[in-house]
Amino acid sequence: MRHQEHIQDHLKIAEYIIQQIKNNEILPGQKVPSQHQLVERFRVDRNVVRRALTRLENLGWVVPVQGKGCYANKRPPVVTSVLTRFEDTRFLNGDQPVTHLVEWCLDEPTTAERENLKLTMQDKVYRVETLRFSGTAPLNLATASYPEKNFPEIETYLSDSPSFSNLLFDLHKTNLSRKFTIIEARMPTEREAELLEISQEIPIVQSISVRGHPDGTPATMVIGRARGDRCQYVIDFENTEN
């Protein structure tokens, strides 16, 4: 029983400090309560306080300074998006979307790609991984699958980042309509955390979207992984869009 109480205490302490930062009671760059102060306030062992501070550090809320304690970290702003349509949101906010090409390959389709894009084992897909930024911070890691037979021109753009970014915008902005989107929260892999510049303890929001041509033929599948500490999705039922 006491072990369970310790676990609850460590989460309670972490949440207490998070709320202080969210409410601007502790501003970025200001020192959070010391270990001694937290021990006195919550009447717990020092190791419980250390666990709470370690959790806050891993989640990006505080930065430790050796010999001085922990300080509130500057939090990046949350980016609101109309359900996975990243480019539209950034244009509405007056910012040019920034998309960096991470890697690409021409490969046999996976089971999910075959099912969602109606492909055969003989088909090939361009699998393109991009990292999308809001300001200078990475926000979304996306893996897009384009059937070679439908998008033979893609390869010519892959070595030119500006042209490729424009191509992506055009592809997802023209006559393609969203067929469905599946959204789930999960923990990132080591590689995802590294590219998104987050701790593996920060969850990501994964979206799997399939878009199709007007005749209903599937066109592309995109798996997006957004930083859970920076994204907010809005589902607008009054102004529906593809």
pLDDT in tens, 68-122: 999 998 876 655 555 545 444 444 455 556 788 899 999 999 999 999 999 999 9
Predicted local distance difference test score (pLDDT) of residue 229? 83
CA distance 55 to 14: 7
Predicted local distance difference test score (pLDDT) of residue 91? 41
Task: Please give the backbone phi and psi of residue 171, each rounded to the nearest 5 degrees, phi first.
Answer: -60, -40
CA distance 201 to 224: 18
Query: Which domains are present in the chain?
Result: 1-72 (1.10.10.10), 98-227 (3.40.1410.10)
Span 32-42, pLDDT tens digits: 999 999 999 99
CA distance 225 to 185: 9
Predicted local distance difference test score (pLDDT) of residue 36? 95
Span 157-213, pLDDT tens digits: 776 555 555 565 566 555 678 888 889 999 999 999 999 998 888 899 999 999 888
Predicted local distance difference test score (pLDDT) of residue 92? 42
- The pTM of this model reads 0.71
